[in-house]
Amino acid sequence: MSAAAVVLLVLTAAGGLVLSAWGERLRPPWGAAVLVVALAGAAGSGWGPGRAGQGLGEVAVLCAVLAAVAGGGPVATAVLRFADPTEAGVPAEGRGGPGDPDILRGGAWIGVLERAAVAGTLLAGWPEGLAVVLAVKGLGRYNELRTTPAAAERFILGTLASALWAAACVGVAFLVRR
């Protein structure tokens, strides 16, 4: 069962890379759902009895980090779009809610680094590092968050979605390695 979990992690990472390459505006709305289902399948496969060999466990860790970094962007974007009631049917110039990608520019790259840091701290056995990562991110965006309510909402939703995705990916690696 662990081999199936690793294969599904590989597919999750590959799917995340493909969806990220398409870009936020061209990404299909169902893409994030496919990633979530693949990760859930990996978790279910990793949950089964038996212990992975040392090599398979290390491959699972690598694939989990890749899935966390690559797949988190599409998942966070989907959460932001779903949470924005003005998203559907509003022309680009009339936007300004949490789903607007022009709010908090550079957030996609910050999210990549955030998910890598979240995965790294969890894999290193230092969960306190999550507080450090999220505090640094919040301090870096403080001025924008204080002055723009939509930015604060986008920051909270995107950060939680991104961090939870990374933690879930690492959780699958832990299931395979146990």
The string of pLDDT tens digits covering residues 147-158 is 887 788 888 899
Q: Residue 54 pLDDT > 70, yes or no?
A: no
User: What does the block give as tokens for 53?
Assistant: 């060999």
Predicted confidence (pLDDT) at residue 32 exceeds the cutoff of 90: yes
pLDDT band at 91 (very low <50, low <70, confident <90, very high): very low
Least confident segment among 23-27, 46-50, 71-75, 124-128: 46-50
User: Which tops the pLDDT comparison, 94 or 47?
Assistant: 47
Q: For the chain, how many residues are written?
A: 178
Total domains in the fold of the chain? 1
| pTM score, whole prediction | 0.84
Phi, psi of 23 (to 5 degrees): 90, 160
The confidence score (pLDDT) of residue 95 equals: 52
For helices 149-177 and 2-22, the axis angle rounded to 10 degrees is: 150
pLDDT of residue 82: 86
d(CA 173, CA 178): 9
Cα–chain center distance at 105: 18
Distance, CA of 74 to CA of 132 (rounded, Å): 24
pLDDT at 62 over 70: yes
pLDDT above 90 covers a percentage of the chain that reads 50
What pLDDT is stored for residue 101 in this prediction?
A: 58
Report the C-alpha gap between 17 and 19 in whole angstroms: 6
What's the domain range around 47? 2-177
Measure the CA angle with vertex 47, ends 54 and 9; round to 5°. Answer: 65
Q: What's the CA dihedral at 60, 62, 64, 70 to 10 degrees? A: -150
Confidence of residue 97 (pLDDT cuts 50, 70, 90): low
